[in-house]
């Protein structure tokens, strides 16, 4: 179905909804690389004007990737909840934006309509929003998840402690864990990106983290971010696995390039559920996403990268995850060229995910060949904190020595909590106080050489 709008004496025509969404997207290098972006600022504005008039119902009638050939499209359409959609079904995309921004549209209403919103609707309305709009609505979208602690409560910020090591050395990983715990990080998860895919090596990592957790009675969850099929094998071998991890994307073809399908994810979900290791909740899936992955895999089907990203959140919400995060600047400048594009993408991803009911965090990051620096990351970190992000990363010195990219540090989380008055997950917060790591206000105490963690963790972890 063609769409058009007129500016002055110039008529702008867009062949279909897919084209309209791409042309309305804020400028980013990935869409230029794919040949999808608007040629001029005027064409982009014309697309936004035309998009604002599109009824939300149209997204149920005109799919971007064919239903017959893409299981993610089938998931989106088959899981759509018409009763949840009813209160907003009469709106256009522009009207939807206005409704989201109303003071009277609160968290409860957003939660109620969430099952009726498709990823394409979320992506479309985000394209009409300024950054402050994305922050305001993102703040209202509260998505709470729980396993051994509770993540996403109002005025809370959690941190994934990421103790990566280029050779999976247990001593190096344990040292980073100790560093992070003493800075009050780790309530989202202690999650290791392993250098190896050797099952014996991975088993040692799971066992070490679980021994530390049990010895110190830490209300946390651990994860080794290896391929989901390896995690299924590890569960069969008796590994003490808390969270099931997988990178996902917004099309069947891209997920196939990752070596997964919805069926494989359901198998992993069933395996993880059989362990029943949660204490305060039963959310145990952990997904990572990122704009540009579909284009990189040749699985974008002519859909702009931000809309492809939003479609990944439909996959995520199918499995009621504990954690989802966009690794926003990791893929590189071919897809998000500079700090401005990375900042915008991070805000879009958080907004779309939360609108769809996904417990969203962000790896606020960039690669060293992007036109970005740590000041850009400070800006995005602060904006996401204001928007109510569920969690961020905590990496020693903000420099991942295994994955070779720049992210956020334990100190960055302290900064954000101080400036915005954010607390940790309540169960983890209580543990930190019991361990004399923080005071009753959540501030870090001075840690002496005789502290229990310093004395015992190296021996418990096998890193002495």
Q: Is 384 annotated as a binding residue?
A: no
Locate the DSSP E strands across 294-443.
Answer: 323-327, 360-363, 391-394, 399-400, 405-406
Residue closest to 304 by CA, chosen among 4, 14, 21, 12: 21
* Cα 213 to Cα 403: distance, rounded to the nearest angstrom: 25
* Cα 355 to Cα 137: distance, rounded to the nearest angstrom: 8
* Cα 35 to Cα 22: distance, rounded to the nearest angstrom: 10
DSSP labels for 53-92? TSBTTHHHHS-SS-TTT-HHHHHHHHT--HHHHGGGTT-B
Q: Is 288 annotated as a binding residue?
A: yes
Task: Name the DSSP letter for residue 218.
Answer: -
Q: Is 363 annotated as a binding residue?
A: yes
Phi-psi region of 184 (alpha: psi -120 to 50; beta: other; left: phi over 0): left
Neighbour-count burial of 17, counting CB atoms closer than 10 A to its CB (0-12 exposed, 13-18 middle, 19+ buried): buried
Q: Is 305 annotated as a binding residue?
A: no
CB 356 within 8 A of CB 109: no
> Could you tell me the two tokens for 147?
């396993």
Residue 384's φ and ψ, nearest 5 degrees, are -70, -35
Q: Is 194 annotated as a binding residue?
A: yes
* Cα 426 to Cα 410: distance, rounded to the nearest angstrom: 18
Q: Is 435 annotated as a binding residue?
A: no
Sign of torsion, CA 307 312 318 324? negative
> Could you tell me the two tokens for 190?
């202690």
Alpha helices in 356-424 (DSSP H): 374-386, 410-420
Residue closest to 157 by CA, chosen among 179, 119, 184: 184
Q: Is 246 annotated as a binding residue?
A: yes
Q: Is 171 annotated as a binding residue?
A: no
Neighbour-count burial of 428, counting CB atoms closer than 10 A to its CB (0-12 exposed, 13-18 middle, 19+ buried): buried
> Could you tell me the two tokens for 134?
């994305």
Q: Is 240 annotated as a binding residue?
A: no
Strand, helix or coil at 118? coil
Q: Given the DSSP bridges, would you call strands 285-289 and 323-327 parallel, antiparallel or unpaired?
A: parallel
Binding site members for adenosylcob(III)alamin: 194, 246, 296, 402
Binding site members: 160-162, 193-194, 246, 288, 296, 363, 402
Binding site members for substrate: 160-162, 193, 288, 363
């Amino acid at each position: 179905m063609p769409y058009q709008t007129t500016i002055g004496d110039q008529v702008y025509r867009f062949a279909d909804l897919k084209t309209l969404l791409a042309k309305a997207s804020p400028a980013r290098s990935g869409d230029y690389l794919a040949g999808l972006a608007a040629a001029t600022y005027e064409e982009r504005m014309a697309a936004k004007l035309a998009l604002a008039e599109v009824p939300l119902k149209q997204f149920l009638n005109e799919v971007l990737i064919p239903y017959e050939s893409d299981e993610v499209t089938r998931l989106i359409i088959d899981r759509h909840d018409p009763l949840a959609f009813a209160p907003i079904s009469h709106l256009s995309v522009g009207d939807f934006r206005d409704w989201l921004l109303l003071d009277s549209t609160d968290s409860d209403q957003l939660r109620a309509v969430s099952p009726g919103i498709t990823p394409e609707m979320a992506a479309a309305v985000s394209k009409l929003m300024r950054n402050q709009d994305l922050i305001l609505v993102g703040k209202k979208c509260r998505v709470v998840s729980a396993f051994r602690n509770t993540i996403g409560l109002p005025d809370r910020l959690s941190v994934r402690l990421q103790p990566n090591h280029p050779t999976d050395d247990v001593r190096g990983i344990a040292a980073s864990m100790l560093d992070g715990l003493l800075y009050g990080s780790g309530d989202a998860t202690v999650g290791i990106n392993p250098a190896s895919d050797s099952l014996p090596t991975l088993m040692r990592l799971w066992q070490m983290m679980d021994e530390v957790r049990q010895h110190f009675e830490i209300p946390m969850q651990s994860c080794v971010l290896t391929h989901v099929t390896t995690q299924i094998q590890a569960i069969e071998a008796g590994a003490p696995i808390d969270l099931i991890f997988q990178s996902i994307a917004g099309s069947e073809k891209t997920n196939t390039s990752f070596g997964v399908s919805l069926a494989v994810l359901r198998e992993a979900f069933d395996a993880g559920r059989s362990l029943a290791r949660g204490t305060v909740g039963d959310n145990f899936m952990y997904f990572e996403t990122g704009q540009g992955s579909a284009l990189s895999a040749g699985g974008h089907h002519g859909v702009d990268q931000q809309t492809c990203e939003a479609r990944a959140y439909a996959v995520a919400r199918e499995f009621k995850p504990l954690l989802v995060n966009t690794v926003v600047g990791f893929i590189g400048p071919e897809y998000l060229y500079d700090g401005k594009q990375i900042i915008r993408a991070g805000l879009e991803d958080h907004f779309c995910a939360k609108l769809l009911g996904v417990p969203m965090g962000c790896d606020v990051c960039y690669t060293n060949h992007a036109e970005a620096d740590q000041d850009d990351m400070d800006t995005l970190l602060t904006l996401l904190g204001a928007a109510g992000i569920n969690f961020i990363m905590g990496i020693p010195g903000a420099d991942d020595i295994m994955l070779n990219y720049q992210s956020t540090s334990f100190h960055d989380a302290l900064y954000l909590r101080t400036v915005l008055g954010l607390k940790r997950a309540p169960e983890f917060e209580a543990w930190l106080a019991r361990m004399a790591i923080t005071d009753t206000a959540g501030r870090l105490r001075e840690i002496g050489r005789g502290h229990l963690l310093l004395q015992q963790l190296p021996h418990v972890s096998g890193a002495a």
